[in-house]
Amino acid sequence: MRICKFEYLIDDYLLGKLSEDKRAEFEEHYFNCPLCFEKTVQRDELISVIKTKGSSIFQDIQVPKEEKRPSVFESVYAFLTPREWATAAVSAALLLIVVFGVLPNIKATSPDFYINDDRVRGPSITLISPVIEDMKVIPSQFRWQGLGEDVEYKIYIYNHDLMWSGTTKENFIVLSEETKKLMISGEKYSWQVKAFSPEGILISVSSRVHFNISPQQ
């Protein structure tokens, strides 16, 4: 059904509640809008009957007494019908179930990214030790969190450039004495681990962690 934007003025016009300007505007409008004119005539007839016969028509009506100003809760409650409130409650419950029940169980797939034309996938590698920046002695063992079986790890130790690298299938590597001799007290080093699949595809890379070896006193 069509609704005209002037329709809301019908009652106020008939009850004499419009300002002079609004009244003239509405009157000109119903000269041009048959729909509003028809509705105005109908509503006028209803109001005329109610005004003239209201006392007998509404004799059995119990007028609700003027109530105290509603509380904020009552105003909010009155904003929607019970059915609308029920719909809103069900929608909110579903939303909570999705947010707290379903979303946390969805494991996000690891993003793919490229390093030197190699596609890298899977979670990143967490380095365990050494991660303390100032080491008192030259570390002999480097350890990280493993990614599972059949993964080959390549460990890189950098001074300014790559100083040494080694390969293992364990989640740690023990440096040989020769390698340890390459590391000098007072120098700054960093290390990094890369993981490869059995097919030799790079699947993960750790961050690069720096450490110093304190000068011996």
Partner 1 sequence: MGLSIFDSSFIMEKVKKNKPELTTEEIVAKYRPVVSFRVRKSLGSGTPDWEDVVNNIIVNVIEKLQKGEFRGDSSIGTFIYTITSRRIIDHIRQKSKVLKHAPEPNPFLAPYEEIENKERAEVLTKAIDKLKPKYKEILHLYYYKELSRGEVAQRLSITPRRVSERINYAQKLLSKIIKK
| Closer residue to partner 1 (CB): 20 or 199 | 20
Looking at the DSSP bridge assignments, the partners of residue 168 are 153
| Closer residue to partner 1 (CB): 56 or 105 | 56
Q: Is 87 in the site for partner 1 (CB under 8 A)?
A: no
Q: Is 38 in the site for partner 1 (CB under 8 A)?
A: yes
Q: What is the DSSP string of 168-194?
A: ESSSEEE--HHHHHH--TT-EEEEEEE
> Running DSSP on this structure, what letter comes out for residue 211?
E
Q: Is 150 in the site for partner 1 (CB under 8 A)?
A: no
Q: Measured in Å, how far apart are the chain's first and last C-alpha atoms?
A: 94
Q: Is 28 in the site for partner 1 (CB under 8 A)?
A: yes
| Residue choice 73, 79, 100, 114 for contact with partner 1 (CB under 8 A) | 79
Q: Is 43 in the site for partner 1 (CB under 8 A)?
A: yes
Give the start-end residues of each E strand in 83-126.
113-115, 118-120
Q: Are residues 147 and 110 in contact, defined by beta-carbon separation less than 8 angstroms?
A: no
| Closer residue to partner 1 (CB): 19 or 109 | 19
Q: Is 78 in the site for partner 1 (CB under 8 A)?
A: yes
Q: Is 66 in the site for partner 1 (CB under 8 A)?
A: yes
Q: Are residues 203 and 196 in contact, defined by beta-carbon separation less than 8 angstroms?
A: yes
Q: Is 67 in the site for partner 1 (CB under 8 A)?
A: yes
Quote the least distance from Cβ 2 to partner 1, whole Å. Answer: 12
The angle subtended at Cα 207 by Cα 206 and Cα 208, nearest 5°, is 115
Which span (44-52, 87-95, 125-133, 198-206) binds partner 1, by CB under 8 A? Answer: 44-52
Q: Is 169 in the site for partner 1 (CB under 8 A)?
A: no
# chain residues binding partner 1, by CB under 8 A:
44
Pairing of β 127-129 and β 141-144: antiparallel
Q: Where is 46: in which H helix or E strand?
A: helix 34-57
Number of H helices, E strands in the chain: 6, 11
Q: Is 11 in the site for partner 1 (CB under 8 A)?
A: yes
Question: In the complex, which residues of this chain contact partner 1 (CB under 8 A)?
Answer: 8, 11, 15, 24, 27-28, 30-35, 37-38, 40-54, 56-58, 61, 63-67, 69-70, 74, 78-79, 81
